Structure 1
Amino acid sequence: MAKKQSQWAQVGKRKVELSNLEKILFPEDEILKAEVIQYYLSVAPTILQHIKGRALTLIRFPDGIHGESFYQKNRPDWAPDWLEFVTLGKEKKDYIIATEPASLVWLANLASLELHQLHGRKPNFDCPDYMVFDLDPPEGYDFKKLVPIALQLKATIEAYGYTPFVKTTGGKGIHICCPIEPKWDFHTVFEAAEAIAKPFVEDLSSSVTLQIKKDARKGRVLVDIFRIRSGQSIVSPYSLRGRVGAPVSMPLTWDELTELTDPKIYSIKNAVDKLERDGDAWEGIDAYAVELHTHRKKKAAPKKLPPSKKHKSPEQLETYTKKRDFEKTPEPSGTKPDIAGNSFVVHRHHASRLHYDLRLEQDGVLKSWAVPKGLPPYPGVKRLAVQTEDHPMEYLTFDGRIPKGQYGAGEMWIYALGKYQITKDKKDGFYFRLSSKEISGEYRIHKMKDKEWLLERVDEPQVNYLKQTIEPMLSETAEKPPKSDDYIFEMKWDGIRALIVLEDGQITMRTRNHNDITNQFPELLDGNKAFRATNGLFDAEIVCLDDEGKPVFKRVINRMSSTGETNIQKLTRSNPAYCYIFDCLYLDGRSLIHEPLLKRKEWLRDAIRPETPYRISEFVDDGDALFEAAKLHTLEGIMAKQKTSKYFPAKRNDCWLKIKVRQTAEVVIIGYTKGKGERAVTFGALQIAERVGDALEYRGKVGTGFDDATVKDILKELKKVERIKKSTAVGKFVDANITTWLEPIVLMEVSYSKFTPDRMFREPVFVRLRPDLSVVD
């Protein structure tokens, strides 16, 4: 018997013993146990949003996917004391509950490749919080035929007033989950699901069935609602499956499902990248919970009450009422009947000072706290929260301006709206989980004294926008502005593309190739003066302007490459920099990348203070006029952006179009030919290539556009580059026998008239070096 090899790893505040990390669990894919552990650790922030508080059934594969596997429901006797569990069922089994990344690491170390969740969540284990419809096709069934059935079932479910969410099972099927309020037992929920499934199956009886026995299905797809039973489970979102390829049960948007032809494309190899790139398709699923359609009461139309200063209100709202004149303020008066629930709202409130208001529904009112610096972005950051008067339930949807002279005068924007759940009560506070399309996370609020509380985030976000390296969104090119009302248009600033990180007033600036250029631009570092925000991530262009207000690329590159504190300070006066911000990815505790562009522009405008070196990149609706203006003033070009588009980090996307006044390309120098005459000691022409996907495609030689100063600058850069025997670029080289080949490191920009038939640039002219870019951009 092979000797067990183990080691200890620190995971958060826990020490976890790991063993046999090099054991291969997926032989065909050569995936080690260490990689499985790393996968679950990587998706922990998101998978825990869905399984924390749920009893888990494990499927273990200690000898790999082709060895013996078994279900495990009982917590092992030798499990660590910190591993949470709950005793459920007639057999009194101790089900494990994953509460933190260390839980997942411990389970993965047992080769628990598959995590299956029960449908109830702490403390309501006997009341499911979703209905599940499992579309189970027969073996060999074409997945492309299953998708239309799922879409038809989606439409049917929506007609009953539910919001269906979809995921692949990691196998051949599809799970559709509909969040519901956890008020009813399993039998009641099953009957509600059956009331939806029966007429659906009757209408499509030739292709779907409710027959659980395989021989009675006759090649039809089973609409399995029989999992809605106590002790039954479904594979958890983002769980691996113990099958060849290491597939993942992947949550998808309905648009993504429509385009999906093979669910096996989502696996351990790409699931984390997809999650970090596209976000969680099930983000805030709990916020969409509704009553069962079989138990909904018809709501009476609300009575319209005349304005009155003497209206009746609950005792909890007396302080709120005394502070307001409801004949002058549009705020709700609190006259609506209240229904017990678990809603929350966060407001961004421009009162005498900008702050955020956290409001949690309790006892028919909204318990409220003013949070001056906004929600904490990640664990370890604590925020002061001052408890204010209770607010009426109607404040959940209040969004507007409180008039000057009234209490709390100023703009009040809904920042996040959804459902919350108290996950743990403490002596002087409680833990709670927020679930909404804007924010999903777990927090702790702790009373210090009087009305002062301390708010902190408990769980790690899947993407930490303030600490992780975020890749900017990239554009496609177009020859002229699109003729469509779907676009807005703005200038293409001729400067250094940079992502600006604001964290508690401190600013960090990084270029597209991840160079930290913060120290090069001290005039841009006063975050408190420039922003109406505590934390943020902004997409921008840093420029230096000439006397006419036009950006000059060479000037800003000079600033970027300058060294020495005294010299840099001198340049801030003689050649000041400005930062034109055109997008906002993250603001004070929540991501904005899934908001439509125009909404992000609103948040951006609200976050930038006037009269600082930071400026908003303005936009117009008339692309043709802006493009003609760019031509007239010899500017670089314009950008066209779809109004409803999301922000896609690291993606080149046709939602953004770059329309240049002159046709240019960013290329890499792959070599140079020997010069003649005055250029005999430098170079004759530069051999260039353009990156297309993963390949470098040869584009020919460029020998014009240089002045003496530029030649010296280029030669200085080329001397830093290693010589090689043969270029890695693809194509038929010109003058290869008289070329000195170089590592493809130095980037530059060229203009050209068009492509030749063999994909070379015709009439290429050097424009400038691009030290601000990376060869992989």
Structure 2
Amino acid sequence: MAKKQTQWAQVGKRKVELSNLDKIIFPEDEVLKAEVIEYYLTIAPTILNHIKGRAMTLIRFPDGVHGESFYQKNRPQWAPEWIEFATLGKEEKDYILPTEPAVLVWIANLAGLELHQLHSRKPHFDKPDYMVFDLDPPEGYDFRKVVPIAFELKAHIETYGYTPFVKTTGGKGLHICCPLEPAQGFSEVFDAAQLIAQPFVESHQNDTTLHIKKEARKGRVLVDIYRIRSGQSIVSPYSLRGRVGAPVSMPLTWDELADVTNPAVFNIKNAVEKVMADGDAWESIDAYAVELHTHRKAKAASKKLPPNKKHKSPEQLETYKQKRDFEKTPEPAGEIITGGNNNFVVHRHHASHLHYDLRLEQEGVLKSWAVPRGFPPRPGVKRLAVQTEDHPMEYLKFDGKIPKGQYGAGEMWIYALGKYQLTKEKKDGFYFRLNSKEMTGEYRMHKTKEKEFLLERVDAPQIDWLNQFIDPMLSETADKPPLGPDNIYELKWDGIRALIAYEEGKMRIYTRNHIDVTAQFPELLEGEKAFRATNALFDAEIVSLDATGKPIFKKVINRMAARGESNIQKLSKTNPVYCYVFDCLYLDGRTLIGEPLTKRKEWLKDAIRPDTPYRVSEFVEDGESLFEAAREHGLEGIMAKKRDSKYLPGRRSDCWLKVKVRQSAEVLIIGYTAGKGNRGQTFGALHIAERVGKELHYRGKVGTGFDDNIIKEVLKELKKVDTLKSIDVVGELLDRKTSTWLDPKLIVEVSYSKLTPDNMFREPVFLRLRPDLSEV
């Protein structure tokens, strides 16, 4: 028997013993156990959002997916003591409760490839928090025929007042889950699911069935509602499956599902990449929890609560009412309302001092805390939270401006609205989880004084918006401005595209190509003076202006290329830059990318202080006039943007259109021809290619637009790039045998009249180097 090879790894605050990391788990896919562990550790922030506090059944594959596998429900006696468990069921098995990334690493080291979850969550183990419909097609069934059934079932379920979420199973079917408030037992939820499924199957009897026995299905898709029963489970979101291809049970948006023809496309190789690019399609699932349709009550009536020793007055809203004149403020006067008891709202409140208001529903009112510095972005960051007077339940929907002279005067925006759960109560505070479309996370409220608390985030987000490199959203091009009320228009600033990350007074500025240029622009580093925020990520353009206010690209590139602290400081005075900010991706504890553009613009404007090098890039409603003004003043062009568009990091979208006065493109230099005559010592023309997706499309040669200084500058950059024997492009290369080919890293901008029939640039002219985009 081969000796077991072990080593210890530090995962958070735990040490986990790992063994046989080079064991092959998925032979056809050449996936090692080390890669399985890496997958679960990397996806931990997202998967824990769904399985933390749930009892888990594991399917282990100690000898790989072709070896013997077995279910494991009981926590092993030799498991580390820090692995939590719950004793459940008639057999009183000790189910593992995942609580942190170290638990997932420990499970993966046991070759626990598949994580299957029970349908309830601590502390309500006897009450499911979702209803599941498992679409299980027979072997060999075309998945493309399952998708329309799923969409029809979705529409049917919605008539009962539920919000269905969908995921692949990692096999041949789909799971449709409808979030529930954990108020009823398993039998009631099963009965409700049966009442929904029966009429659907009756109306789709040629394609679906409720018969669980395979011989009775007759080639139809089983609408499996039997998994919702006590003790049953489903594979967890983002769990691997022990099958060839290393597939993953992938949560999807319904729009994404429409384009899926084979669920096996989601696997260990690309699941994390998808989540990082698209986010978690199920992130806000718990915010849509509702009562079972069979148990819904009439709208709760207002009523007075009895005296409460925690309040000086039996009228819990008395303090709130005394501070307000309801003839002058649009705030709700409010009555105490009994209801679901788990709603929350966070307001961004720009009063005399900007702060955030956290409000949690309890006993028919909203318990409220003012959080001056916003929500903590990650574990380890603590925020002061001062408890204020209780607010009426109507404040859940209040979004507006409190008039000057009134208590709390100023703008108040709903920053997040959804459901919350108390996950743990302590003598000195409590733990709670927020679930909403806007923000989801687990937090701790720790009491330090009578009305003072410390707010701390418990779970780590999947994406660290402030410290990772985030790729900006990219635009398509258009010949003229699109018209219509759906668009807004702003100038296209001729400068360096940059993302500005601001955290706790520290700043980081980096380009579209992840070049850190923080040190090059010292005049942009006074974030506390420039921003009304504690943490933020802005999308912007750094420009250098001439005396008339026109941006000069060459000047800002010279600033970016400057070296030496004293030289940079001198240039910041003689050639200062300005930063025109046009979007906000993250602000004080939550991402904004899912918000409509106009809402992001509203918060952006509030977050940028006046009279600093940072300026809000203003927008207008008249695209034609702005474009003509840009042409008349010799500017580069304008941007047309859909007013309701989301921000799509790293993606090119026609929701943003670049409309240039002159047609140009950013292309890669892939080679050059030998020079002749007075260019004999340099080059004749540059071979250029445009990146389309992952391919390079050849656009021909550019040999005009150079003067002597530009030729020397370009030649200097060419010498930094490695030469190649050949290069692969889409299109027929010119002068293949007489050209020098280069590693495609150097980006330049060229103008052209149009594309030829063979997709070359007609009449190309060199405009400038783009060192802000190049990789050299």
CA distance in 1, matches of 2:688, 2:136: 54
1:309 maps to: none
1:561 maps to: 561
In structure 1, what residue type is equivalent to 2:269? K
1:760 maps to: 760
- How far did residue 301 of structure 1 move? 8.0
CA distance in 2, matches of 1:148, 1:261: 11
Contact 1:340 1:363 (C-alpha < 8 Å) held by counterparts: no
Change (3 A) 1:55 1:63: same
Contact 2:301 2:337 (C-alpha < 8 Å) held by counterparts: no
Contact 1:487 1:621 (C-alpha < 8 Å) held by counterparts: yes
Q: Could you report, residue by residue, the CA deviation over 1:718-757 in whole angstroms, capped at 9, with x for unpaired residues?
A: 2333344445556544445554443333221111222334
Q: Could you report, residue by residue, the CA deviation over 1:545-580 in whole angstroms, capped at 9, with x for unpaired residues?
A: 112211110010011111222222222222211111
Contact 1:472 1:539 (C-alpha < 8 Å) held by counterparts: yes
1:47 maps to: 47
In structure 1, what residue type is equivalent to 2:6? S
Q: Could you report, residue by residue, the CA deviation over 1:682-725 in whole angstroms, capped at 9, with x for unpaired residues?
A: 33333333333334343333222112222222222223333444
Contact 1:675 1:684 (C-alpha < 8 Å) held by counterparts: yes
Residue 365 of structure 2 is aligned to residue 375 of structure 1:
no
Residue 103 of structure 2 is aligned to residue 103 of structure 1:
yes
1:353 maps to: 353
Residue 125 of structure 2 is aligned to residue 122 of structure 1:
no
Contact 1:668 1:775 (C-alpha < 8 Å) held by counterparts: no
Identity of aligned residues (%): 75
**Structure 1 residues 569-588: aligned runs within 5 Å:** 569-588=569-588
1:639 maps to: 639
1:418 maps to: 418
**Structure 1 residues 303-342: aligned runs within 5 Å:** 315-342=315-342
In structure 1, what residue type is equivalent to 2:280? D
1:307 maps to: none
Q: Which moved more, 1:426-435 or 1:99-108?
A: 426-435
CA distance in 2, matches of 1:398, 1:759: 55
Q: What SS does the aligned partner of 1:327 have? A: coil
CA distance in 2, matches of 1:317, 1:608: 35
Residue 15 of structure 2 is aligned to residue 9 of structure 1:
no
2:515 maps to: 515
Q: What SS does the aligned partner of 1:662 have? A: coil
Residue 190 of structure 2 is aligned to residue 194 of structure 1:
no
Residue 135 of structure 2 is aligned to residue 135 of structure 1:
yes
1:157 maps to: 157
2:665 maps to: 665
Residue 170 of structure 2 is aligned to residue 170 of structure 1:
yes
Change (3 A) 1:214 1:677: closer
**Structure 1 residues 703-722: aligned runs within 5 Å:** 703-722=703-722
Contact 1:488 1:643 (C-alpha < 8 Å) held by counterparts: yes
- How far did residue 506 of structure 1 move? 2.1
Change (3 A) 1:707 1:131: same
CA distance in 2, matches of 1:313, 1:183: 32
Q: CA RMSD in A?
A: 1.9
Change (3 A) 1:723 1:226: closer
Q: What SS does the aligned partner of 1:222 have? A: strand
Contact 1:119 1:130 (C-alpha < 8 Å) held by counterparts: yes
Change (3 A) 1:708 1:42: same
Q: Could you report, residue by residue, the CA deviation over 1:293-313 in whole angstroms, capped at 9, with x for unpaired residues?
A: 11112237889xxxxxxxx99
Q: Which moved more, 1:736-745 or 1:170-179?
A: 736-745
Contact 2:179 2:286 (C-alpha < 8 Å) held by counterparts: yes
- How far did residue 337 of structure 1 move? 3.0
Contact 1:336 1:394 (C-alpha < 8 Å) held by counterparts: no
CA distance in 2, matches of 1:729, 1:187: 62
- How far did residue 56 of structure 1 move? 0.3
Residue 360 of structure 2 is aligned to residue 344 of structure 1:
no
Change (3 A) 1:731 1:213: closer
CA distance in 2, matches of 1:392, 1:483: 44
Contact 2:251 2:281 (C-alpha < 8 Å) held by counterparts: yes
Contact 2:300 2:338 (C-alpha < 8 Å) held by counterparts: no
In structure 2, what residue type is equivalent to 1:408? G
CA distance in 1, matches of 2:203, 2:301: 35
Contact 1:331 1:398 (C-alpha < 8 Å) held by counterparts: yes
- How far did residue 422 of structure 1 move? 1.3
**Structure 1 residues 646-685: aligned runs within 5 Å:** 646-685=646-685
Contact 2:335 2:393 (C-alpha < 8 Å) held by counterparts: no
1:468 maps to: 468
Contact 1:346 1:358 (C-alpha < 8 Å) held by counterparts: yes
In structure 2, what residue type is equivalent to 1:36? V
Q: What SS does the aligned partner of 2:659 have? A: strand
CA distance in 1, matches of 2:285, 2:604: 27
Contact 1:340 1:362 (C-alpha < 8 Å) held by counterparts: no
In structure 2, what residue type is equivalent to 1:642? K
Q: Could you report, residue by residue, the CA deviation over 1:661-680 in whole angstroms, capped at 9, with x for unpaired residues?
A: 21212222233334344433
Change (3 A) 1:752 1:454: same
CA distance in 2, matches of 1:255, 1:739: 47
1:306 maps to: none
- How far did residue 255 of structure 1 move? 1.2
Q: Could you report, residue by residue, the CA deviation over 1:158-195 in whole angstroms, capped at 9, with x for unpaired residues?
A: 11111111111111111111111111111111111111
- How far did residue 31 of structure 1 move? 0.8
Q: Could you report, residue by residue, the CA deviation over 1:374-404 in whole angstroms, capped at 9, with x for unpaired residues?
A: 0000011111111111212221111111121
**Structure 1 residues 220-299: aligned runs within 5 Å:** 220-299=220-299
2:394 maps to: 394
TM-score between the two structures when normalised by the length of structure 1: 0.96
In structure 2, what residue type is equivalent to 1:711? I
Q: Could you report, residue by residue, the CA deviation over 1:516-539 in whole angstroms, capped at 9, with x for unpaired residues?
A: 111111111111111111111111
How many residue pairs align between the two structures?
768
Residue 533 of structure 2 is aligned to residue 533 of structure 1:
yes
Q: What SS does the aligned partner of 1:459 have? A: coil
- How far did residue 424 of structure 1 move? 1.4
- How far did residue 596 of structure 1 move? 1.8
1:454 maps to: 454
In structure 2, what residue type is equivalent to 1:771? P
Change (3 A) 1:261 1:729: closer
In structure 2, what residue type is equivalent to 1:488? I
Contact 2:121 2:128 (C-alpha < 8 Å) held by counterparts: yes
CA distance in 1, matches of 2:539, 2:20: 44
CA distance in 2, matches of 1:84, 1:482: 58
Residue 702 of structure 2 is aligned to residue 702 of structure 1:
yes
Q: Which moved more, 1:406-415 or 1:670-679?
A: 670-679
Residue 594 of structure 2 is aligned to residue 594 of structure 1:
yes
- How far did residue 607 of structure 1 move? 1.2
CA distance in 2, matches of 1:151, 1:243: 27
Contact 1:313 1:334 (C-alpha < 8 Å) held by counterparts: no
CA distance in 2, matches of 1:19, 1:178: 39
CA distance in 1, matches of 2:605, 2:503: 18
CA distance in 2, matches of 1:576, 1:771: 19
In structure 2, what residue type is equivalent to 1:628? E
Q: What SS does the aligned partner of 2:462 have? A: coil
Q: What SS does the aligned partner of 1:140 have? A: coil
- How far did residue 314 of structure 1 move? 5.0
- How far did residue 414 of structure 1 move? 0.7
Change (3 A) 1:763 1:340: closer
Q: Which moved more, 1:715-724 or 1:385-394?
A: 715-724
In structure 2, what residue type is equivalent to 1:134? D
Q: Which moved more, 1:212-221 or 1:365-374?
A: 212-221
Contact 1:418 1:435 (C-alpha < 8 Å) held by counterparts: yes
Change (3 A) 1:732 1:373: same
Q: Which moved more, 1:676-685 or 1:413-422?
A: 676-685
CA distance in 1, matches of 2:739, 2:130: 67
